[in-house]
Structure 1
């Protein structure tokens, strides 16, 4: 490691955490509709925060949802708060139907993602982009 910077490599993991007012609704969207696995969950602790971690079991990243009504109310996701999944093909119509049935809303997305993917706003107001491109660095 450089003496000043952290240089991540493939062995490092990534967690993206954010508040939600409703873990059941988050589970319905991300697990039941999108198909991520529930990796771990915890009922409310002494501070009243319940947790849900979801992801793809082989991936080195996951999402953590913290049930926290006050924080979720103050969160203001913008159009650029996006989680992009590179599928390598267009999403199946039934996947889009499941996402909207689970509280998601299809939106046009910006010009780039309108061309390269489908954008769905999750029940908490964050954007999920399902790109038909692949990500090859």
Structure 2
């Protein structure tokens, strides 16, 4: 599949908090948002021009709940040590503390942070290998 854009979408009960986590903590940009679209509010975050973005939605009057497990992960590979350290420092500066990963593999070269819904984001100081 060529010229594909990936959207990872999930519901949340804490839309504003989740947007702050990904925008302020991870440095993503809000690339789109909507209010009361058929009862849904939402925001898309990512980087302009990237072939992927995250969408978080909240359906009014509906409860989404928390992450089903501690192993629901988004993993971002940051092979450049300076870029990785800057990303970790930005997370800490916004009040996010690393958590111990359920799978110890992720703690060897990275740090894991938990978003307001309990979903986890790994900042991995390694290149992704195929």
TM class by shorter chain equals 0.7 to 0.9
Question: Rg bigger for which structure?
Answer: 1
Moved over 6 A (4+): none
Distance 1:105 1:97 in 2: 6
After the TM superposition, which residues 4-43 of structure 1 pair with which residues of structure 2 at under 5 Å, given as runs?
A: 8-9=1-2, 11-43=3-35
Structure 1 length as normaliser, TM-score? Answer: 0.80
After the TM superposition, which residues 52-63 of structure 1 pair with which residues of structure 2 at under 5 Å, given as runs?
A: 52-63=43-54
Structure 2 length as normaliser, TM-score? Answer: 0.84
- Structure 2: gaps of 5 or more residues: none
After the TM superposition, which residues 65-76 of structure 1 pair with which residues of structure 2 at under 5 Å, given as runs?
A: 65-68=56-59, 70-73=62-65, 75-76=66-67
Q: Which has the higher contact order (CA 8 A, sep 6+)?
A: 2
Question: Match of 2:42?
Answer: 51
Question: Match of 1:5?
Answer: none
CA RMSD of aligned residues (A): 1.8
**CA contact under 8 A between 1:120 and 1:129: conserved in structure 2?**
yes
Distance 2:48 2:118 in 1: 25
- Structure 1: gaps of 5 or more residues: 1-7
1:120 equivalent among 92, 110, 113: 113
Query: What is the number of residues matched between the two proteins?
Result: 124
1:38 is paired with a residue whose SS is strand
Residues 1:91 and 2:82 aligned together: no
